[in-house]
Amino acid sequence: MHSLPPLAYPYDSLEPYIDEMTMRLHHTKHHQAYIDNLNKALEAYPELQERPLESLLADLSQVPEAIRTAVRFHGGGHLNHSLFWESMTPGGSELQGQLAAAVHQAFGDLAGLQENMNSAGLKHLGSGWVWLTLDNAGQLQVESTANHDSPLAEGRTPLLVNDLWEHAYYLKYQNRRGEYLATWWSVVNWPVVVRRYERALGSG
């Protein structure tokens, strides 16, 4: 059975960029609900409970049709939130290493990547996620996905992700998604993103 991963930092530690109440509700209520619904969907399929979620989401055709929509939504909700919590750290961090060079090459500089992701996040209609991913050719891509869809389904590896659902920012930012997106960079956990990048390159 899937269970809620603990946060590596306290709920109030991303203040003032993300408020404590949002973090607490987001983690203990929203994320937990996706896990509960995923477990319910997998109840009758013990062999799928043992499979890594990444592999199910990368090829949903292996998932029985009766639960495919539920696994796509709630499984994606579980995995995306897990990646999202790890993508943040109190006080933020600096982009370094091999990924810094790749970001400079693909987007000019870090500000170029930030503008790209902010713009993709702002233009995205409705709920979803905005991502920095790595494609099969080893190129960095900025993209957004609807609902809880994963870039894994398109063969791309998630590196960095921000949550575009209103529950992620509404208490503090209300309708100002652009302000939330711009502010969020203050809490990005680059060392984790760099590790994901190096792991993806190593396995590619």
**End-to-end CA distance of the chain, in Å?**
30
Q: What is the DSSP string of 130-174?
A: EEEEE-TTS-EEEEEEETT--GGGGT-EEEEEEE-SGGGTHHHHT
Q: Does 165 bind Mn ion (CB under 5 A)?
A: yes
| 86 is an interface residue for Mn ion by CB under 5 A | no
Q: Could you tell me which of 38, 25, 23 has the C-alpha nearest to residue 79? A: 38
The single residue among 163, 181, 194, 197 that binds Mn ion, judged by CB under 5 A, is 163
Per CB under 5 A, the segment of 109-117, 126-134, 166-174, 191-199 that binds Mn ion is: 166-174
180 binds Mn ion (CB under 5 A): no
Our CB check for Mn ion shows the closer of 165 and 180 to be 165
Q: Which stretch binds Mn ion (CB under 5 A): 61-69, 106-114, 120-128, 156-164?
A: 156-164
Distance CA 110, CA 122 (A): 18
Q: For residue 73, give the amino acid letter.
A: F
Q: How many helices (H) and strands (E) are present in the chain, helices listed first? A: 11, 3
Q: Which is nearer to Mn ion, 32 or 119 (CB)?
A: 32
Of 1-9, 66-74, 160-168, 181-189, the segment contacting Mn ion by CB under 5 A is 160-168
> For binding to Mn ion (CB under 5 A), which residues are involved?
163, 165, 168
